[in-house]
């Protein structure tokens, strides 16, 4: 086979060469970092996904070498393929930043923002999106849309109120299982994910809808409310499984396995297995194998994502190159200040639990005399 | 004055039946095309005619047809868009109800041009009674040898099926229509690929409006050049306009696109003026999604030219001072109508009809509707007006299909031209709920033709 000609595409002034047919989003992922548009609905492992959430909109300032005209509208980078010589603006385009902030606002106006009681908190893509691309305040003043919680069978719960209608779970159910029993009912802002007449989802691979869901709309009933993700340690583990690749992540606390999920890559997508097959895992591995003894544990997962999970010390630690002594021009480090002398809050005679109302400086000064 | 080439026979008694239609010269275009022309020659005539799609976007039909991919061994389809659900548009209904054979004749001739052996009419679910009219006409056409195999002994085969929609406006968008026709949920597809390459069941497909296909009949009968002589510039031929609102004679009119908007509203041949001698306040000239225009900008363009009922003139001035021909749904508002209430009603429609695939349209339409309801009910705030403007600007252009734009434009145009009416509503919360209209001063005194 003759060598395939590559297309040059420039995104935010960084040029990469990619195979024809590559989308702008995937080209940007090759560059990585901030240049990569956020993607809430696209999922590279799911055919036909993408195009819906509009968070990945970018500006094409030059169509191609042959036809340099800019594209008049912003385009969904996840569904637009690159042309040779194309120039794309993502974070260098004020139009994109503005439109994206608009999309984030739209996604949030009907979202319950119940993160404190949501199992997805800490690994939720909507939290990341809002933090990275949204505005601090909402201008929405109406009652938010809400739905009743529904059990989709024994293992999965649907909180439709949190759903952003990315359709990932629909494609997953369609493409990984052989019966079509999970889809969207109604339309517009009253559309909802539903199973056929609330039928249980029984298929062996249906648990994967939990992994693809970017928010806390589909949660694992065997894990619900048992722990917060940032208290658990993700460990890579595997077992011999006749149904799937058997390569998983165990979310452990001590010796206890709280949750089993598929392994994810840096974009939050289920990774290929080490044998090159798909990384989707079966319901047995996910819901039934909850003992450390069921698994061969390989070691802690490298968490490189910017989520709170990485605060759990699982990133490879790097020794700082300079010591404090060096930074301070040879002065030996000692306590910079004695916190007990400086802070009023730490004065032992104040019993915080007995204060009426919020603790303010006044309380402490009054008691300090 | 106006020349009629589509509806000229609409009032012949019994024209709905095959015998009368045939006696009046029906099916000549099929004879002419199949016996004396090549498929490419038919496409060429349509190109020459300058016919533009009558479904709303106004895309040149001949050009659309020439884009159709023709890979070997793969069927091609002609799909007729009879979903007609845009508020204010009811011209296809009239055409199908009174002249079903005209549509069928147009389909056969078009199928011959496109090399399509099977055609579908996707019809709005609420038009239930028209389904039986069409099916009866198809039966008659088949019985008389115009459908089936080896039509007129030329070896050309053609079948037509009628499929009823289930009442969703979005299924009028061509790719949502194809999804629905395939038995799926009517979500618009992400383009490309375009239907001309991958349409119905992944095969090359042309989707055309009912009126577009009907217009092929006079084009083939008279020749593309003759057709192009009617009208001006890029607005050739005749156009069906469905007029409604505050006019004396609501209904469907066939116009040649040279008459002025003023004549169309006030002449007895068309709308017959405004009831009760009231003044004209505003008009939505091309179906609910196009921008509303106040009376002064409706009758004259910003440059001071007389505004004509055609594609170029109605869009003269862009969205700043113009509107669009759209699908020909002409909605007239007299001095007593409230633009805020009208805009709210439209916003409610779009919210209800959004398919919900893309976040700006799904969430934005509902948000706009609620704000507009507040303003209409006297609960609005001044900042709501700018907020509405911002929301519509974040929907427009950022969605998968043009329904997002269609929802944004009416809101944008209402604020652009009638901002003080919104402000008046907010400043007079009691008064605005007691009477059903806003400010009348937009209805500038205008000259009424004798
Ligand atoms: C939301 C939406 C609704 C539409 N509804 C209709 C319709 O009811 N009838 C129609 O002919 N075209 C409708 N269209 C336009 C079609 O997508 C398409 O452009 C048209 O059928 C092409 O036919 P034409 O080239 O003959 O105009 C609609 C478009 C959108 C975005
Ligand atoms: S439930 Fe989750 S995966 Fe499914 S559409 Fe909603 S947000 Fe997407
Ligand atoms: S713009 Fe609206 S109707 Fe069109 S695809 Fe998006 S959500 Fe659906
Ligand atoms: S990721 Fe591209 S539109 Fe959702």
Lookup result for tokens 């849309």 = A145
pLDDT at residue A136, rounded to an integer: 81
Cβ within 8 Å, pair B356-A102: no
Percent of chain A beyond pLDDT 90? 61
Q: Is A328 exposed, middle or buried (0-12, 13-18, 19+ CB in 10 A)?
A: exposed
Ligand 2 centroid to Cα of residue A125, in Å, is 12
Question: Alpha-carbon distance B214 to B103, whole Å?
Answer: 5
Average pLDDT over residues B314-342: 94
Whether chain A has a CB inside 8 Å of the CB on B351: the answer is yes
Q: Which CATH architecture has domain B18-223?
A: 3-Layer(aba) Sandwich (3.40)
Looking from the CA of residue B353, the nearest atom of ligand 3 is 3
CA distances from B287 to B86, B111, B125, B254, B321 (A): 6, 29, 19, 16, 17
pLDDT tens profile B163-207: 999 999 999 999 999 999 999 999 999 999 999 999 999 999 999
pLDDT tens profile A283-302: 999 999 999 999 999 988 87
pLDDT at residue B449, rounded to an integer: 46
Q: ipTM score of the complex?
A: 0.91
pLDDT tens profile A101-130: 999 999 999 998 888 889 999 999 999 999
- pLDDT of residue A305 exceeding 80: no
Name the residue of B46, B54, B57, B58 to mutate for ligand 1: max ligand atoms within 8 A of Cβ.
B57
B-chain residues near A142 (CB < 8 A): 367, 370
B-chain residues near A183 (CB < 8 A): 185
> A267-276, A290-299, A353-362, B242-251: which has the minimum mean pLDDT?
A353-362
Ligand 1 centroid to Cα of residue B92, in Å, is 12
Whether chain B has a CB inside 8 Å of the CB on A57: the answer is yes
Question: Alpha-carbon distance A43 to B299, whole Å?
Answer: 51
Domains recognised in chain A with CATH numbers: 7-103 (3.10.20.740), 141-220 (3.30.70.20), 229-312 (no CATH), 330-368 (no CATH)
Q: Residue B163 forms beta bridges with which residues? A: B122
Higher pLDDT, B337 or B398: B398
Q: Which of residues 189-228 of A touch B (CB under 8 A)?
A: 189-191
pLDDT at residue A352, rounded to an integer: 54
pTM of the model: 0.89
The domain ranges of chain B are: 18-223, 235-334, 339-434
Average pLDDT over residues B140-152: 97
Tokens linked to B372 = 């507009």
Range ranked top by mean pLDDT from A248-257, A313-322, B385-394: B385-394
Which residue in the set A79, A103, A187 is minimally distant from B359, CB to CB? A103
pLDDT tens profile A35-73: 999 999 999 999 999 999 999 999 999 999 999 999 999
- pLDDT of residue B443 exceeding 80: no
Q: Which CATH number fits domain B339-434: 3.40.50.300, 1.10.1740.10, 3.90.1150.10, 1.20.1440.230?
A: 1.20.1440.230
- pLDDT of residue B392 exceeding 70: yes
Whether chain A has a CB inside 8 Å of the CB on B360: the answer is yes
Domain B235-334 bears CATH identifier 3.40.50.300:
no
pLDDT tens profile A188-205: 999 999 887 656 667 889
Question: Alpha-carbon distance A266 to A247, whole Å?
Answer: 17
Average pLDDT over residues B335-358: 95
pLDDT at residue A368, rounded to an integer: 45
Range ranked top by mean pLDDT from A149-163, A303-317, B247-261: B247-261
Lookup result for tokens 């499929």 = B163
Ligand 4 centroid to Cα of residue A141, in Å, is 27
Tokens linked to B152 = 């007129």
B162 to chain A, minimum CA–CA distance in Å?
Answer: 24
Average pLDDT, chain B: 94
Average pLDDT over residues B109-116: 98
pLDDT at residue A153, rounded to an integer: 85
Residues with CB under 6 A from ligand 1: B 53-57, 59, 61, 64, 81, 83-86, 169-170, 172-174, 207-209, 212, 401-403, 406
Average pLDDT over residues A354-369: 55
Ligand nearest to the CA of A169: 2
Question: Alpha-carbon distance B138 to B115, whole Å?
Answer: 19
Name the residue of A28, A36, A43, A55 to mutate for ligand 4: max ligand atoms within 8 A of Cβ.
A55
């Amino acid at each position: 086979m003759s060598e395939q000609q590559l297309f040059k595409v420039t995104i935010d002034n960084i040029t990469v060469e990619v195979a024809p047919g590559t989308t702008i989003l995937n080209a940007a992922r090759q560059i990585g970092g901030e240049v990569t548009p956020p993607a809430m609905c696209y999922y590279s492992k799911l055919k036909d996904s993408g195009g819906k959430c509009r968070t990945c909109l970018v500006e094409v300032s030059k169509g191609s070498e042959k036809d340099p005209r800019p594209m008049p509208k912003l385009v969904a980078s996840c569904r637009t393929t690159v042309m040779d010589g194309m120039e794309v603006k993502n974070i260098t385009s004020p139009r994109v930043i503005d439109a994206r902030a608009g999309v984030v606002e739209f996604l949030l106006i009907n979202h319950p923002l119940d993160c404190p009681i949501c199992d997805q908190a800490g690994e939720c893509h909507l939290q990341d999106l809002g933090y990275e691309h949204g505005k601090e305040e909402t201008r929405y003043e109406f009652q938010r849309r809400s739905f009743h919680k529904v059990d989709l069978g024994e293992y999965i719960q649907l909180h439709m109120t949190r759903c952003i209608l990315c359709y990932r779970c629909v494609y997953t159910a369609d493409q990984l299982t052989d019966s079509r029993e999970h889809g969207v009912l109604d339309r517009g802002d009253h559309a909802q994910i539903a199973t056929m007449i609330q039928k249980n989802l029984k298929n062996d691979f249906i648990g994967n809808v939990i992994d693809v869901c970017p928010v806390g709309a589909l949660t694992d009933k065997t894990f619900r409310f048992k722990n917060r993700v940032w208290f658990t340690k993700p460990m890579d583990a595997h077992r011999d499984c006749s149904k799937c690749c058997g390569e998983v992540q165990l979310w452990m606390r001590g010796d206890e396995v709280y949750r089993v999920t598929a392994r994810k890559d840096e974009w939050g997508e289920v990774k290929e297995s080490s044998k090159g097959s798909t990384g989707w895992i079966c319901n047995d591995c996910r819901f039934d194998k909850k003992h450390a003894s069921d698994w061969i544990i390989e070691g802690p997962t490298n968490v490189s994502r910017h989520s709170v999970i990485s605060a759990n010390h699982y990133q490879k630690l790097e020794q700082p190159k300079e010591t404090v002594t060096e930074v301070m021009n040879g002065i030996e480090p000692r306590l910079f200040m004695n916190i007990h002398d400086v802070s009023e809050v730490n004065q032992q005679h104040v019993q915080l639990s007995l204060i009426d109302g919020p603790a303010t400086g006044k309380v402490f000064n009054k008691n300090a005399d | 004055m106006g020349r009629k080439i589509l509806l000229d026979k609409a009032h012949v008694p019994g024209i709905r039946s095959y015998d009368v239609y045939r006696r009046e010269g029906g099916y000549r275009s099929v004879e002419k095309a199949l016996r004396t022309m090549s498929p490419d020659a038919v496409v060429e005539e349509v190109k020459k005619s300058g016919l533009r799609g009558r479904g709303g976007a106004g895309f040149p039909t001949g050009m659309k047809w020439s884009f159709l991919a023709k890979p070997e061994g793969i069927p091609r389809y002609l799909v007729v868009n009879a979903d007609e659900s845009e508020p204010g548009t009811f011209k296809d209904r009239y055409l199908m109800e009174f002249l079903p054979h005209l549509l069928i004749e147009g389909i056969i001739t078009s199928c011959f041009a496109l090399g399509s052996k099977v055609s579908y009419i996707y019809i709005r679910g609420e038009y239930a009674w028209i389904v039986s009219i069409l099916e009866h006409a198809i039966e008659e056409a088949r019985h008389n040898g115009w459908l089936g195999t080896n039509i007129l002994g030329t070896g050309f085969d053609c079948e037509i099926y009628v499929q009823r929609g289930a009442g969703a406006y979005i299924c009028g968008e061509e790719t949502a229509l194809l999804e629905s026709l395939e038995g799926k949920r009517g979500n618009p597809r992400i383009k490309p690929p375009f239907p001309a390459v991958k349409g119905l069941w992944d095969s090359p497909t042309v989707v055309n409006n009912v009126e577009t296909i009907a217009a092929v009949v006079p084009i083939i009968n008279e020749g593309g050049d003759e057709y192009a002589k009617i009208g001006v510039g890029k607005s050739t031929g005749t156009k069906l306009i469905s007029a409604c609102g505050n006019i004396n004679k609501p209904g469907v009119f066939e116009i040649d696109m040279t008459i002025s908007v003023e004549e169309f509203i006030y002449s007895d041949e068309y709308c017959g003026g405004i009831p009760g001698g009231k003044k004209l306040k505003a008009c939505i000239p091309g179906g609910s999604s196009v921008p509303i225009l106040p009376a002064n900008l409706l009758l004259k363009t910003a440059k001071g030219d007389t505004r004509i009922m055609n594609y170029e003139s109605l869009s003269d001035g862009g969205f700043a001072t113009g509107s669009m021909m759209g699908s020909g749904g002409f909605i007239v508002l007299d001095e007593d109508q409230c633009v805020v209430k009208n805009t709210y009603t439209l916003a409610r429609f779009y919210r209800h009809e959004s398919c919900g695939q893309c976040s700006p349209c799904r969430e934005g339409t509902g948000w706009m509707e609620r704000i507009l309801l507040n303003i209409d009910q006297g609960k609005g705030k001044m900042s709501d007006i700018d907020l509405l403007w911002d929301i519509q600007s974040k929907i427009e252009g950022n969605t998968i299909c043009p329904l997002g734009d269609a929802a944004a434009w009416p809101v944008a145009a209402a604020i652009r031209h009638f901002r003080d009416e919104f402000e008046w509503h907010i400043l007079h919360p009691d008064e605005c709920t007691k009477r059903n209209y806003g400010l009348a001063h937009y209805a500038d005194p205008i000259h009424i033709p004798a």
